[in-house]
Chain A
């Protein structure tokens, strides 16, 4: 027994030192023996050694020799010496004499031969170590071939000890070696069982296993009391390496649930040391038994992934909510413990699993970011503006612009006053990407509105006609204006989309508000049939009804109509029977009658606002849907309300039941503090992008979310197991507001920084333009004149005034030259001939 214990200790030391630095592990090398006699006489009893016999020179075994030599170091750690025995020429003994014995290695314990290995089974270090240990640990590691064998062993072990069952695709592999090395250390504690049978693997793992990769199970047989009971199994999730196996076995050996009676911040368990999180189940005296059971249940689920501790609140002063029941401590230093209120053990498990996942993702991302940093400089000149890039990729396509009149400085004013009643002008710049993108939509509008009487579509390229554009006060590109005779032009302020633009143009054709003359017209208007120009539009109809007395409200309404022209379909009725009309909808004038295109019913709204601004606001607000389907074009209208969104993501149309429940919720007056809406992922597929940002995988649909778009940015997910009913939602919202729910995600708070750096010209210029130093304290005069050989006498003043190239070049002939010097100089220069140009 003491010997065994020694082996234990020494190999643990080996494990720890070798795991980190295998290449450096000892340089103890091959022993050499003069002859077989020498070798056998020196063998110690019980000490294993691996020997091979070789004639003094044997080139054929050369590669094998190299492996043997390098495995000598590894084997030495397991107490196995590797010996090369030279065969003297005349030796014809058992090991040296036979030809085939020279192609083998022999494992001895003491001087007893245990096994002989053909050299082709010892193809590398892994196979040598694995096979040698396998032979030595014959008793500790059971090799099984059938399921029955495995079950027999398991049954025997029940109540006694645990079992480690490993499958390796073949012996002599790195995994085989890892298992054997682990068995060398743990073989006396756990029963090791090894197989290479794929059928056994299939029988022991749940899903379809990959037979080409190794697999290790820890079977908890020690606790099993009843023979009929199966041993629990915990698989090793990581690849089979010595370190991973070691780690796994350590975790399996740790107590399932640790009981804690001190500050959780100070607690450290084997899990935390191994980089795994620790889950605390907060317990009280009253519920101890139940909590203990919960903790054990959770611990089994999390075995190998996280540790579980039972924290007694009675013993530890905790400064956390009374309702918190779970705490999570992560191995990252400095991370505070998270206290949570969870309802279900599954949540604990997802919490831990997601944490691990997130961590992994972050690591992946970090790597990617690093990659990006390296690439950064190359990307600077690559277009990363989606609009610019899309437009330049589309530039070769010829746009169908025949329907659109080109306006110039010459024909602009005459075109505006021509027969067409409504002239739409797109002011754009032909080099500007957004302009060109809008021009594409504009050409679609032209095709769409082709044949509509009274509408002329035209365009002005402000790059060609800059004067015209500044005259028309166009400062931004693109701008769309509608010019109608006798009226002020209206600038388009809506989405740059084909549909939106078309409806704007159509609506602008009709005066806003439209004066209705008869009751029939008014009724037709509410039905969307009058005027006929607008019958193709599905816009809500808004009718202001005024008794002639209420002119103040009417004026405000008309003003509001001017502002909302093109955006809203507005009518106005103030004939004698206005009272009768409004009373039909149980309001009295001044009032608004609103017919939404969707429903047939007409709402009556009493008008109390008389200021134009309030009226405009009120009309805009009234036009918003109660339970809208959020789309890309309409989101801004709802964003402007500045309220949180309760939004239902649906893979298609929402079911009637859900729609009814949501509508009920939306209609509750006090609930107007948030926007109730839904999103059709079929129509707005970018919604998948949103979900993917909130949750790493798309949760089952339909999915109800509370999104705090404006404050805090938290996203809460309505429990999927609950049905979407008004009451459930209200209860959930209450809890949510009380802070009892955990957000599933939080909107990024990141600022929008420059995507890439710019060329640093300042830095590039510095070496070549030394004057550009940060402290240009030295005066220009200190810089030598740039004209070499120039006569600078008397040129100082010029230099100071104008330190430019031109002036220094001129100094060559600067005034102030001594008169006396002139003639000789003239003479000298003239003689040189080359420069006869200089007098």
Chain B
């Protein structure tokens, strides 16, 4: 009885937090609970606040962004903060602003906080504080959620409530749980001697502490290189060991790989300046400390049958058998920089929060709509949701997850509040334009390439279409259910892609002729470029599962690549817009050209049907009369007939009796041959 009463109570006292007592415990209720007031938590809070939803954010620290208060240890953020792009388009500029969160408040742009291209982490903390306070987000600080469990209830949105307990044993109850807790549990390795290893979290950041020392760093990520960079100048030498080869982000096009800003050690390694990189499995290692306090690397294999207490002398070192073993020199310090993992510990087993498999085991398992695989209604946001696009796109970083968080919010609005995914309806004549506009400015498509897509849903007879922005393509099959929009008459999916075999740790991304210049070879484009997929029907779940490897989407009915552009400016009339128009025309089987009013006038008198541009423009009194000069140009191009000087008595040769339509039907333009050397200029630069 009690839970039921509680449910009704909830139903009645909907807004604000309501109290509800079950089995002696007091629960504070909210529709949405957000764990963590980092960038993702605040971003989610912003959208919930804008939509007028009942929510609360729990933050274990006294201020937002507690992770950034500590990390990165050396305080330099590696997300770019581009002050100038030469453009004033605010959406476009977000493509090069990797730190700002999304909001309507123009004061909350990161470039107003820092002038540094790679800003200081303290600035991020300050920014997040401002974000929370200026937007009056409801954050409950000093509340560390230490336990989360479920309570079955049929009336709940998802069939259960989430019960949260904080460090003071205060209880909270929510219908939907958004986990934006980040990844903060350090990855540690256990091997004999790992007690001698210092952690990135606590290691000194004062270079003087390393003067004249020999250092071994475990790990090959940005934190490892950042640590090395800091002490490069004062150490004897630094060796770095990790399981896999170094991945340079400019080769992999993945911002989480080693960034050039941190890679000073690569320089000294390749120039034989004593520093070095090695590959090997850390699990196989062992560290032995000698009497002088020096640390020796050996292999677990040699230790297995030994009594460690017997002392260093009795332990075999690799150099005993192999006298040129690479890491035979003893080290003064070993530092572990192995990254972080998700904190699985606070979730009750009933939530089935499972780690992912393989290289995403540090992340919780989630579906492409960011909902936990184990629990309905639990969404993972922010960097912890990176399993969806790990090592591919930017979902693990502010500039990526600010968009996926918005996508999750839109999914929730539709699921729980009957607010369909926002969309705009346009007449079909605006089809080419709306795509060109978005691929040129949209930041969400650009950052979350191959993950978020713009969707164009065609209306009946293809006279109009509906435009949906930044929908997660992983759940394309469920589009109708997830967005509340209908996709009965076919759809276009617009995403951005790199060339299929271009990115990779071992790829030469500077090879000659890497850039494609001609529109007809656009499908071989290597750099990020827009791709349009056309489906006559929404792909089914099965088709999504059987997607060709390396393909973000199933085989479409037709596909179009807009050729890569050196300036990422896809507005060239002949190289970009014309082939796109032809593609759209052929998918829809219509003529999407623009016509001057005069042509429409002629068509109105000579055709029973009119092309869309005349039908939706001229006939509705919005004809394009065009200035004298323009019409003259069209006449010169052979695309418009000039009748002014017609001698109406003169018999024309029969082939011209159809006059201007003939001309309009044909293509009489003067061929414009691309300037070959300029088109391929990208290679030379």
List of A residues within 8 angstroms of B593 by Cβ = 384-387, 755
Give residues of chain B (603-635) contacting chain A, Cβ–Cβ below 8 Å.
604-612, 618-627, 629-631, 633-634
List of B residues within 8 angstroms of A465 by Cβ = 88-90
Give residues of chain A (821-839) contacting chain B, Cβ–Cβ below 8 Å.
822-823, 826-827, 830-831, 836-839
* Segment of A26-34, A37-45, A153-161, A426-434 engaged in the interface with chain B: A426-434
Per the bound structure, the CA–CA distance linking A18 and B632 in Å amounts to 56
Counting CB contacts under 8 A, is B426 at the interface? yes
Q: Smallest CB-CB separation from A395: which chain B residue?
A: B573
**Contact mask A786-827 → B, CB, 8 Å, 1/0?**
000000000001100111111101101101010110110011
Shortest CB-to-CB span from B288 to chain A, Å, is 16
Give residues of chain B (626-651) contacting chain A, Cβ–Cβ below 8 Å.
626-627, 629-631, 633-634, 636-637, 639-644, 646, 648-649, 651
Counting CB contacts under 8 A, is A531 at the interface? no
Shortest CB-to-CB span from B566 to chain A, Å, is 16
Interface centre among B360, B561, B658 (most CB of A within 10 A): B658
Counting CB contacts under 8 A, is A664 at the interface? no
Q: Check A387/B622 contact, CB under 8 A, given A361-B654, A759-B522, A764-B523.
A: no
Verify B254–A806 contact, CB threshold 8 A.
yes
Counting CB contacts under 8 A, is B447 at the interface? no
* Segment of B39-47, B134-142, B471-479, B664-672 engaged in the interface with chain A: B664-672
Q: Smallest CB-CB separation from A755: which chain B residue?
A: B591
Residues of A in contact with B (beta carbons under 8 Å apart): 357, 360-361, 364-365, 368, 372, 378-394, 397, 408-409, 429, 431-434, 437-438, 440-441, 444, 463-467, 475-477, 493-498, 500, 632-633, 635-637, 639-640, 651, 681, 684-694, 696-698, 701, 707, 709, 713, 747-762, 764-765, 769, 771-774, 776-777, 780, 783, 797-798, 801-807, 809-810, 812-813, 815, 817, 819-820, 822-823, 826-827, 830-831, 836-839
Per the bound structure, the CA–CA distance linking A751 and B283 in Å amounts to 70
Per the bound structure, the CA–CA distance linking A493 and B617 in Å amounts to 10
Per the bound structure, the CA–CA distance linking A651 and B436 in Å amounts to 45
List of B residues within 8 angstroms of A441 by Cβ = 625-627
Counting CB contacts under 8 A, is B318 at the interface? yes
Verify A817–B655 contact, CB threshold 8 A.
no
Q: Check A651/B648 contact, CB under 8 A, given A386-B594, A693-B661, A755-B593.
A: yes
List of B residues within 8 angstroms of A387 by Cβ = 593-596, 624, 626, 630, 634
Number of A-B contacts (CB under 8 A): 425
Per the bound structure, the CA–CA distance linking A438 and B594 in Å amounts to 13
List of B residues within 8 angstroms of A756 by Cβ = 582, 667
List of A residues within 8 angstroms of B153 by Cβ = none
Give 23 pairs: A residue, B residue, CB < 8 Å, sorted on A: A364-B655, A381-B520, A385-B578, A394-B630, A440-B627, A444-B627, A463-B440, A496-B622, A692-B659, A754-B589, A754-B590, A758-B585, A780-B549, A804-B392, A804-B549, A809-B505, A813-B280, A819-B284, A823-B299, A823-B318, A827-B322, A830-B325, A830-B326
Counting CB contacts under 8 A, is B441 at the interface? yes
Q: Check A758/B560 contact, CB under 8 A, given A381-B520, A385-B581.
A: yes
Per the bound structure, the CA–CA distance linking A156 and B436 in Å amounts to 85
Counting CB contacts under 8 A, is B597 at the interface? yes
Shortest CB-to-CB span from B216 to chain A, Å, is 11
Per the bound structure, the CA–CA distance linking A464 and B680 in Å amounts to 28
Partner of A393, one of B327, B430, B504, B637: B637
Q: Check A805/B550 contact, CB under 8 A, given A381-B574, A632-B597.
A: yes
Q: Check A759/B520 contact, CB under 8 A, given A633-B623, A819-B300, A820-B301.
A: yes
Counting CB contacts under 8 A, is B344 at the interface? no
List of B residues within 8 angstroms of A364 by Cβ = 654-655
Q: Smallest CB-CB separation from B610: which chain A residue?
A: A752
Verify B634–A386 contact, CB threshold 8 A.
yes
List of A residues within 8 angstroms of B440 by Cβ = 431, 463
Per the bound structure, the CA–CA distance linking A556 and B523 in Å amounts to 59
Verify B586–A437 contact, CB threshold 8 A.
no
List of B residues within 8 angstroms of A433 by Cβ = 573, 594
Interface centre among B585, B625, B642 (most CB of A within 10 A): B625
Counting CB contacts under 8 A, is B390 at the interface? yes
Those 10 A-B pairs whose CB atoms lie nearest each other, nearest first: A839-B280, A497-B625, A431-B571, A771-B548, A754-B585, A685-B643, A386-B639, A387-B594, A752-B591, A780-B549
Verify B550–A765 contact, CB threshold 8 A.
no
Shortest CB-to-CB span from A4 to chain B, Å, is 46
Q: Check A639/B549 contact, CB under 8 A, given A381-B519, A464-B89, A475-B426.
A: no
Q: Smallest CB-CB separation from A782: which chain B residue?
A: B549
Per the bound structure, the CA–CA distance linking A495 and B617 in Å amounts to 9
Counting CB contacts under 8 A, is B330 at the interface? no
Verify A440–B589 contact, CB threshold 8 A.
no
Per the bound structure, the CA–CA distance linking A384 and B620 in Å amounts to 24
Shortest CB-to-CB span from B109 to chain A, Å, is 12
Q: Smallest CB-CB separation from B285: which chain A residue?
A: A839
Q: Beyond the given A391-B573, A822-B284, please list 10 additional residue pairs across the A-B interface where CB-CB is below 8 A.
A: A365-B655, A368-B655, A383-B574, A383-B637, A495-B597, A496-B622, A698-B649, A762-B556, A807-B358, A812-B244
Partner of B623, one of A365, A495, A801, A819: A495
Counting CB contacts under 8 A, is B485 at the interface? no
Q: Check A839/B654 contact, CB under 8 A, given A381-B574, A389-B633, A761-B523.
A: no
Partner of A752, one of B279, B360, B550, B612: B612
Counting CB contacts under 8 A, is B321 at the interface? yes
Per the bound structure, the CA–CA distance linking A608 and B646 in Å amounts to 49
Q: Smallest CB-CB separation from B358: which chain A residue?
A: A798
Verify B519–A783 contact, CB threshold 8 A.
no
List of A residues within 8 angstroms of B661 by Cβ = 689, 693
Per the bound structure, the CA–CA distance linking A765 and B549 in Å amounts to 14
Partner of A772, one of B321, B426, B555: B555
Per the bound structure, the CA–CA distance linking A627 and B520 in Å amounts to 53
Partner of A815, one of B245, B283, B501: B283
Verify B245–A812 contact, CB threshold 8 A.
yes
Q: Check A397/B597 contact, CB under 8 A, given A754-B582, A801-B357.
A: no
Partner of B621, one of A385, A637, A773, A812: A637
Verify A636–B325 contact, CB threshold 8 A.
no
Per the bound structure, the CA–CA distance linking A757 and B590 in Å amounts to 11
Partner of A466, one of B391, B441, B624, B643: B441
Per the bound structure, the CA–CA distance linking A425 and B565 in Å amounts to 32
List of B residues within 8 angstroms of A753 by Cβ = 589-591
Shortest CB-to-CB span from A649 to chain B, Å, is 10
Per the bound structure, the CA–CA distance linking A774 and B92 in Å amounts to 37
Shortest CB-to-CB span from B317 to chain A, Å, is 11
**Contact mask B217-254 → A, CB, 8 Å, 1/0?**
00000000000000000000000010111010000101
Verify A804–B605 contact, CB threshold 8 A.
no
Verify B637–A390 contact, CB threshold 8 A.
yes
Q: Check A386/B640 contact, CB under 8 A, given A361-B657, A813-B281, A837-B279.
A: yes
Q: Check A803/B549 contact, CB under 8 A, given A384-B667, A431-B436, A830-B322.
A: yes
Per the bound structure, the CA–CA distance linking A666 and B609 in Å amounts to 27
List of B residues within 8 angstroms of A747 by Cβ = 605-608
Q: Smallest CB-CB separation from A838: which chain B residue?
A: B279
Verify A388–B641 contact, CB threshold 8 A.
no
Q: Check A360/B654 contact, CB under 8 A, given A381-B574, A797-B358.
A: yes
Per the bound structure, the CA–CA distance linking A699 and B633 in Å amounts to 30
Q: Smallest CB-CB separation from A382: which chain B residue?
A: B669
Verify A689–B643 contact, CB threshold 8 A.
yes
Per the bound structure, the CA–CA distance linking A681 and B648 in Å amounts to 10
Q: Smallest CB-CB separation from B282: which chain A residue?
A: A815
List of B residues within 8 angstroms of A394 by Cβ = 629-630, 633
Shortest CB-to-CB span from A398 to chain B, Å, is 12
Per the bound structure, the CA–CA distance linking A640 and B658 in Å amounts to 26
List of A residues within 8 angstroms of B619 by Cβ = 636, 639-640
Partner of A813, one of B89, B279, B629: B279
Per the bound structure, the CA–CA distance linking A390 and B599 in Å amounts to 14
Verify B596–A635 contact, CB threshold 8 A.
no
Per the bound structure, the CA–CA distance linking A434 and B607 in Å amounts to 23
